[in-house]
Structure 1
Amino acid sequence: MKLNCEIIRDLLPSYIDGLTSQESNRLVEEHLESCAECREYLKEMQADLSSEASVEKNKKAIRPFRKLNRRVKQRIAAAAGAAVLVCVVLFGVGTWYYGRTWTADSSDVKMSVEASGSIATLRFTPQEDTVLYVEADENEENTIVITEGYRNPLKKVYQKSAYYGYTFIDKNTVMGLNGKSTKIDEDDVLTIRYEDKTETISMQELAKEALANNPERTFSE
């Protein structure tokens, strides 16, 4: 079964940056072969990125002022230095403000499960004008932390939601990013951490939702 266009378009930024798994790449490319609208959408995204790079490359240098007396030159130099200092301060403040993230409250996040092609994808959508991120806990298996940050108005944001997915071989087997399969049972859960609480989702329930949308895979209850 093909993924719908909305899911594909949400995955395209990560696909362009090479952050998606081989299974996701295959599903995206199969969808693009049969969907002209999504192919056009991908071309527009790539054109935007190419245009931004071209603008940065072709910036013109400002010509220096000439034939100014020493006093005027000193004043201009002082003003320019002050302007540079202000710009540096503003840039630093802006970088800090829009670059920092924090653990999101559950009330600020809407979670949904999108299942297709043996893949169960958890979608975390911000309820405010922020951008969400999913961070895997390196110390605990199948544990993720939902963080958020402010959206930079000077940068084009293709997606504000965050995603985390699993590819299931059957209801008792999940495929890892390294291509190796891992057995799961009724005790295995995905732990989702917010600032105010922690939620868990059964791995087998995620497998059932994913495989229910994949007619090519069947399993016994």
Structure 2
Amino acid sequence: MNHEVFKDLVPSYMENLTSEETNRQMEKHMEQCVDCQEYVKEMQEDFLIERTNEQKDQKRNIDYFKKIRSKNRRKIFTVAGSLLGLFLIISIGYYFLFVHMWIADENNVQTTVQKQNNIATLNFKSKKDNRYLLAMEQQENQDYTDLIIIYENWNIFADKNWNIHSELAIAQQGGTDITYTFLDENTLLLPNGKEKKLTDEDKITIQYKDSTEEIRLKDLYRAGSNH
């Protein structure tokens, strides 16, 4: 085999691109030519160095992209964490401003009793302009409402798109009412239409944040316009 032809085939030979017949001829030629053996050896060393450098470059590029991906991942987590934190702050703030109600302080409540014919109305109104009250009725031990819990909430943002209780807040601007219907001083008309004879033990308990108030039903019947 001609030396120049041999040298031209060496790169393909090292990359296993030559045919089996060509490989046999080249190996036979190398057995007879020391210079060609050295040439192949040098080419193999250069090829190995080149491949090693390529692998280093590839590893360097891979490491670089890993670092970029890691930084991007951290940025994504940071942004996501910030958005989540902001969402939680807004959600908690919205809950406490518009959803959450708490038992009112007695000092913030103006209570009046209005009497018309035999109907007595307990009215609870907030003394603060930016709040409204809601009276929750419960029948604890009697057939009538004997426990009233006074709740309070913020009265801001009348737009119902912001405040889910806006309509309730508007309706309660004049206060929240609980009514009792009497037949006479000693007789209460129950919600089911039955009559209840009253004693001095028949009372209403009004629960505030740190205190309670008791009103006898007979006293409620006798009450004037203020309480």
Report the TM-score, using the length of structure 1 for normalisation: 0.51
Aligned residues: 129
1:175-219: CA deviation from partner (whole Å, max 9, x where unpaired):
122222111112211111111211111111222348x9xxxxxxx
Q: Is the 8 A contact 2:133 2:172 kept in 1?
A: no
1:177 aligns with 2:184: no
Correspondence 1:158 to 2:158:
no
Match of 2:100 in 1: 100
Deviation at 1:97, TM superposition (A): 2.6
Identical amino acids, percent of aligned pairs? 27
Query: SS state of the match for residue 179, structure 1?
Result: coil
- Contact conserved, 2:134 with 2:172, CA < 8 A, in 1? no
CA change 1:124–1:208 in 2 (3 A) is same
Larger Rg: 2
Aligned mate of 2:181, from 136, 152, 167: 167
Question: Structure 1's 198 and 94: CA in aligned 2 closer, same or farther, altered over 3 A?
Answer: same
| C-alpha distance after superposition, 1:64-88 (max 9, x if no partner) | xxxxxxxxxxxxxxxxxxx9xx889
* Mapped partners of 2:93, 2:192: distance in 1: 39
Pick the aligned partner of 1:196 from 196, 201, 210: 210
Unaligned 5+ segments in structure 1 are 1-82, 213-221
Unpaired segments ≥5 residues, structure 2: 1-82, 160-165
Distance in 2, Cα, partners of 1:194 & 1:92: 25
Could you tell me the TM-score, scaled by structure 2's length? Answer: 0.50
Distance in 2 (CA, whole Å) between partners of 1:140 and 1:100 is 28
Code of the aligned partner of 1:115? K
Q: How well do the aligned residues superpose, as a CA RMSD in angstroms?
A: 2.8
CA distance in 2: counterparts of 1:196 and 1:87, whole angstroms: 33
Match in the other structure for 1:130? 131
Aligned equivalent of 2:63: none
Counterpart residue number, 1:120: 120
Partner of 1:94: helix, strand, or coil?
helix
* Structure 1 segment 1-221 matched on structure 2, within 5 A: 90=90, 93-128=93-128, 129-141=130-142, 142-153=146-157, 154=159, 155=166, 157-160=170-173, 161-209=175-223
Cα offset, 1:140, TM superposition: 3.9
Q: Tell me the distance in 2 between the aligned counterparts of 1:195 and 1:89.
A: 26
